[in-house]
Amino acid sequence: MLLLVVIAALLFGGGVALNIWVERRQFYRRNGAGVEEFASYSAAVAARGLEGLARFGARLCLASGFALLGLALIQIFLSHR
């Protein structure tokens, strides 16, 4: 039970960290007008692709963390009945 909670917390934390990393990268690419600037078209495509994969992984980690936490809570509830 405790292992599930620890794994859920690690997955949730990893998802949050990935999300923050992507948002930070996007923030520092913006100019004074709030428009993202890239050195070239290929840099834009590569950045968007990498960040898309990172966001997908972050959402997957968050969803998995919530699911494991729910399973751990159900297991704790059923074992104390």
Q: Which residues span the domain enclosing 19?
A: 2-79
Task: Note the helical H segments in 1-81.
Answer: 2-29, 41-79
pLDDT higher than threshold 80 for residue 23: yes
Q: So what's the pLDDT on residue 20?
A: 97
39 token code pair: 């050195």
Say if residue 80 is exposed, middle or buried (CB neighbours under 10 Å; 0-12, 13-18, 19+): exposed
pLDDT in tens, 59-70: 999 999 999 999
pLDDT score of 80 = 83
Q: How many domains does the chain have?
A: 1
Res. 81: pLDDT tops 80: no
| List of residues 6+ apart from 5 with CB closer than 8 A | 68, 69, 72
